[in-house]
A and B are shown apart, each in its own frame.
Chain A
């Protein structure tokens, strides 16, 4: 039998019953369509979360101080006075593969400038901070180690603060007053947008950590220490070494700090969308199976209807194998065409969802391949029994069939 002849035969047989073929395909179309749509939506969501996590910085390991508890009341991570600037210095000097360290002090304060005022987050950081967070300075520059040593009254500010306080003027060189202390604005950060938890990252004023500790918050511990590892592969080693180092330094039975990596954050953040995609995938595969059953059903009807045709073909020399291939290709054509239409439908549905809800969607190329292969596979699986049945017909009986 020629290679293309069975495809021509299948095409002709399916065109003969256009409506029936379309309805049969509908099962696969809906199945594949829902797989593609759900994968597109969850992949889009996962991608968004990953981007947010990546916006935290490059290869970042964060050390939080332990939680503060007093008389049964517990503060959150970073509330206990356990981490010090000396800890951060030790990390920088003693742990291998550490490229940047920034002790961090967090506080909120009312800031004044230009006759305006604004409540914002005031961070104390080291000059390494922009590098760790992978965050560029838009104009001006970062404060220096000299500013840190000299407890300098300098600040860099985020885009939101610029909008609120310096709407019409260039903020560089202007003065910002925090708790009655004037700080000179030396730099403006690039826009970074919202973080994983919905916080506006641009709503920030950053000053040297020494200035924060001595002038603003008047304390001698830090909330956390941001550490940048040399590369992805050294993240775990850096985490382990910091843990060992700090346990040794603090000499406490219970660890009074927590070391988190970006990878862990990423895993926690994408957990939900992973569960979602597994659920959606399960529902979609059920509809694919239903589609396959539809194809099997119609192929069985078709074999019965065309018993006489099968008999004629066998009488003129078709072997069982030829008949098997003919019907199998018909089933595969049904499901493959249905699959392709389903992919188009699924991508369209994802696009519409994206436009209506504003969720980002993304159709991974691999899933288009998987959809194609699995719809062809469904055709083979569901078409095999009817095709085998057709191939086992007795030509004499088949010719006599009314």
Chain B
């Protein structure tokens, strides 16, 4: 039985709990989180390790099910779906970006981006797949690198391929788990620039990070502690990736001049 609610929220978490029953001790990783995320939001979920943010992300990403509580994605109760149903939801509605990029090695950028379409419910012709994958790569500024393999790309470029892959099925939600964790500061800002541009185009983004300065590129910060929401407030002094990048370049040139 799948419930639906009338809501314009992309994500509606209602008193979500997650308890891991491993051995003798139950681990209560998430203890009652309620959260609404509206279309077009750009949210950073922060917290130290053990705060439950990864567990929460896994549930938002439909990789895992809450032990208790309800989760509505696009108004659809997904907290009770089985494995296959969740796989379909992930394919339709969610795009994943991981810390370690998670591209298939020895497979070109274009084929990596095409990969989620292999599992689409509605079959696309292979020329359509190629077309959409190429458009997605264009969106992240990697049009020229379509036939490169991951080991021929820099970390920032690999992460862009991963973002293109996340976008290819036009999801309602982009989920990024520490997307800048493996990148240097300049590349991190570039990636945040890509996110800001996508967000301006209307894509809802949720990002897990533990870096405060990265969180300042988002619009709203949710801080977790011990499986509960500690604070949930809009970002006041929001950074713009484009101008930050400019500043950084000026600083670098100044060093060279000196």
Chain A interface (Cβ < 8 Å from any Cβ of B): 1-2, 5, 12, 16, 308-309, 311-322, 395-396, 399
Which chain B residue lies CB-closest to A326? B118
Residues of chain A within 8 A (CB-CB) of B123 are 2
- What distance in Å separates the Cβ of B226 from its nearest Cβ neighbour in chain A? 21
Q: Are B106 and A395 in contact (CB under 8 A)?
A: no
Which chain B residue lies CB-closest to A315? B96
Q: Are A315 and B63 in contact (CB under 8 A)?
A: yes
Report Cα–Cα, A401/B119, bound state, in Å: 22
Q: Known contacts A2-B123, A16-B106, A308-B102: does B116 contact A316 (CB below 8 Å)?
A: yes
Which of B58, B87, B169 is the one whose CB lies under 8 Å from A318? B87
Which chain A residue lies CB-closest to B93? A317
- What distance in Å separates the Cβ of A110 from its nearest Cβ neighbour in chain B? 85
Residues of chain A within 8 A (CB-CB) of B107 are 12
Residues of chain A within 8 A (CB-CB) of B88 are 317, 319
Chain B interface (Cβ < 8 Å from any Cβ of A): 58, 61, 63-64, 83-84, 87-88, 90-92, 96, 98, 102, 104, 106-107, 115-116, 118-120, 123, 126, 165, 169
Residues of chain B within 8 A (CB-CB) of A1 are 118-119
Q: Are A316 and B98 in contact (CB under 8 A)?
A: no
Which of B58, B84, B115 is the one whose CB lies under 8 Å from A316? B115
Which chain B residue lies CB-closest to A318? B119
- What distance in Å separates the Cβ of A27 from its nearest Cβ neighbour in chain B? 26
Q: Top 9 closest A-B pairs, CB basis?
A: A317-B91, A316-B116, A317-B119, A319-B87, A319-B84, A318-B119, A317-B90, A312-B102, A315-B96
Can you sample 25 A-B contacts with CB below 8 Å? A2-B123, A16-B106, A311-B102, A312-B104, A313-B115, A314-B87, A315-B63, A315-B90, A315-B96, A316-B90, A316-B116, A316-B165, A317-B87, A317-B88, A317-B92, A318-B87, A318-B119, A319-B83, A319-B87, A319-B88, A319-B119, A321-B84, A395-B63, A396-B58, A396-B64
Report Cα–Cα, A309/B103, bound state, in Å: 8
- What distance in Å separates the Cβ of B128 from its nearest Cβ neighbour in chain A? 12
Besides A2-B126, A316-B115, A316-B165, 6 other A-B contacts (C-beta < 8 A): A312-B115, A313-B115, A318-B118, A320-B83, A396-B63, A396-B64
Residues of chain A within 8 A (CB-CB) of B91 are 316-317
Q: Known contacts A396-B63, A399-B102: does B84 contact A2 (CB below 8 Å)?
A: no
Q: Are A315 and B104 in contact (CB under 8 A)?
A: no
Report Cα–Cα, A5/B114, bound state, in Å: 11
Residues of chain B within 8 A (CB-CB) of A395 are 63
